[in-house]
Amino acid sequence: MNQISVSYDGRFTWLLSGDAIGPTRTFSSLPEAISCARELTDAAEAMIEMRIDGFYACVHQERGWPHRIHAPDRKAA
């Protein structure tokens, strides 16, 4: 199972790391980071640890990543 870490550095940067990810990557949004992780792991089973401003969550994704981790981006009205 892939082990993935997503964290927010408090300065508008999301960090993505883990064995399947390679070197730590940076993103400007959580959806971008999750999309990259899903692509790099080919949506294989994964345990995703998230650290955001003192909040910690662990999300288990089965193959295909059926669970939504973040809300969809809002469209301007």
Q: Write out the DSSP string of 9-77.
A: -SSS-EEEEETTTEEEEEESSHHHHHHHHHHHTTT--EEEEEEETTEEEEEEE-TT--S--SPPPPPP-
Sequence spans of domains, the chain = 2-61
How far is 77 from 2, CA to CA, in rounded Å? 38
The predicted structure's pLDDT at residue 76: 56
The predicted structure's pLDDT at residue 66: 94
Q: Nearest CA to 48 among 62, 28, 11, 25?
A: 62
The predicted structure's pLDDT at residue 9: 85
The predicted structure's pLDDT at residue 77: 56
More confident of the two residues 61 and 11: 61
CATH class of 2-61: alpha beta
pLDDT digits (tens, 9 = 90+) for 2-59: 999 999 988 889 999 999 899 999 999 999 999 999 999 999 999 999 999 899 999 9
More confident of the two residues 75 and 62: 62
pTM: 0.86
How far is 57 from 71, CA to CA, in rounded Å? 15
